[in-house]
Amino acid sequence: MIYPKIPLAQTVIQLCKAKGVKHIVISPGSRNAPLTIGFTNDNFFKSYSIVDERCAAFFALGIAQQLKEPTAVVCTSGSALLNYYPAVSEAFYSNIPLVVLSADRPKHLVGIGDGQTINQKNVFENHILYSANLKLDLKDEKNVPEQEELPIIKNLEDKFERLLGLQKDIQTHNEEQINVAINVARFKKGPVHINIPFNEPLYETVEKLSVTPKVIDVDIESEEIEDYLLQSCLEDWNDASKKMILVGENFPNSIEKKWLDELAEDDSVIVLTETTSNLHHPSFFTSIDQLIAPLNDTEKKQLSPDILVTLGGLIVSKKIKQLLRKYQPKQHWHIDAKIANDTFFCLNNHFKVTPNEFFETFLTKITHYVKSDYKSTWTAVNQHRLKRHKAYTDRIPFSDFKVFNAVLKSIPKQYILQSGNSSTIRYTQLFKIDKSIEVFCNRGTSGIDGSTSTAIGCAVANERPTLFITGDLSFFYDSNALWNNYIPKDFRIIVINNQGGGIFRILPGHKSTENFDTYFETKHELNAEHLCNMYGIKYETATDYESLKSTLQSFYLEGNKPKLLEVFTPRSINDEILLNYFEFIK
């Protein structure tokens, strides 16, 4: 087998292999050549070549999101590393194990005016779980500036003994740092950065390894709920007649069905789920904004619970945030082994366990159900909303709202749905989606910048077919995502093109002015046809309801290339139709 000659590169590669970091997304460069040589010549690794580092990082994030395993990105030195930052921040807030491996120049070549050189040490410090700054190998003495690494030693024999001692210390340091970084990514679920200095020559190879790094494992002890806290919460729970479970972003099938059934049996409990919660039960409330938006202040106060229990990741719905911040529950408990956000400014308890562990400990000790009409009252309201929802959908003209209704109904069972941000995920929240469909969205930072790349990474990592629904601005922003040789033939994209940032027409502000059109909505006349031709993607289009329904009938059928459907909707009426919807469903 071919290995890079540089021991530090061998160390990084061997420890990635030992710790199961299998998927390696590489962007071209020279300084990272030792890593590229090592990863691509070992059949254990699945290596991908993605030119655009921003796309590469989101592509890796999509793989890590699906596999729930650390996935690595490898880049050269300089500004290449900074292009990873949007995906690093998304991984940080979405708890996704992304491992950044950045090649760097040696310390003595930083800050002297060399090209492709920036201060890479701790560059992600505000959005990273761990930064490992490795040290330069000293085995090749000619590559070591004496004034940087070695003290002045007059005796030649002493100098070489000192050199060997330093090398041993440096190798130990590097091994420890790499082990810690990958362990953190895996067990704490988030991004880590390993910065790796290489001196030239960079392309030399050997047939035998010169180092055997130590693999350091960690023992993770699970947290337990203290008895006094458990008892206190049980007493509060048994006294409360209004309890709300609010579920944000959540991985599919991660919560046992028996606990969902248990919650559904309690008349004093309502469960509100977001589309990204991937949680399904007939008695749960699946469209939060649909329930809440038409309420007056008195009704909102009636809906506000005594006890709020949150689990899962970040919440999309602004309306539930506004309601619970204004009418704060007496108790707010969050269940998550890692973090608790005080989203509603009234957090009382953070249970650092998984939802299954919490429910196993908590629900099994509940002695009785409180008599309450909380669930029945809001179930009746919700049923009324659903009837009005259907009536409204049947009567409105062709628009974003009408398109989402048709598209979401068309998705075949067992698909994975990746949603773009902004208006796309908010429209998606208003419609029922088949429970066999898994839904994901980059809600960590809620940015539009890498959604397409993430969706493609997801499609590569998962055997199930993936559909990506996105708006036009998000799609064009991340169009380099299509510069990718790994897109599966069954990957599907639907672009809702309303000629601008349609969500800004929904927000308060002066519309239909030159200033608004240019700087807020960013009106345009672009389409995706030429991009599809360039990247080998089959292009289809729809401009009205009939052509949309007709195209969707064959859109998901097997073909010899990925497909993109661009749906053009009338720009000027979408906001009015959405705002009128919430009035109509009262």
Tokens of 134: 């490795």
Per-residue CA distances from 206 to 248, 325, 478 (Å): 50, 62, 39
**CB contact set of 359 (below 8 Å; sequence gap of 6+):** 255, 256, 259, 262
Mean of pLDDT values over 424-443? 96
Distance CA 257, CA 355 (A): 12
For domain 227-379, give its CATH number from 1.20.140.10, 3.40.50.1220, 1.10.287.610, 2.40.10.120.
3.40.50.1220
- Segments making up each domain of the chain, as ranges: 3-204, 227-379, 396-584
Three state DSSP letters for 413-454: CCCEEEECCCHHHHHHCCCCCCCCCEEEECCCCCCCCCHHHH
- The residue count for the chain: 586
In this prediction the pTM is 0.93
| Residues facing 438 on adjacent strands | 416
Neighbour-count burial of 85, counting CB atoms closer than 10 A to its CB (0-12 exposed, 13-18 middle, 19+ buried): middle
**Whether domain 396-584 has CATH 3.10.450.50:** no
User: 566 phi and psi, to 5 degrees?
Assistant: -105, 120
pLDDT 10s digits, 99-145: 999 999 998 888 888 878 899 999 999 999 999 999 998 764 444 55
Quick check: 117 and 78 in contact, CB under 8 A?
yes
Please indicate whether the domains covering 3-204 and 396-584 agree at the CATH topology level. yes
Percent helix, percent strand, percent coil in the chain, to nearest 5: 40, 15, 45
Looking at residue 571, its pLDDT comes to 84
What mean pLDDT, rounded, does the chain reach? 93
Tokens of 353: 């366990």
pLDDT 10s digits, 250-292: 999 999 999 999 999 999 999 999 999 999 999 999 999 999 9
What is the fold, at CATH topology level, of the domain defined by 3-204?
Rossmann fold (3.40.50)
Mean of pLDDT values over 52-56? 98
Cα 389 to chain center, whole Å?
30
User: 226 phi and psi, to 5 degrees?
Assistant: -65, 145
Residue 29's nearest CA partner among 68, 71, 66, 74 is: 74
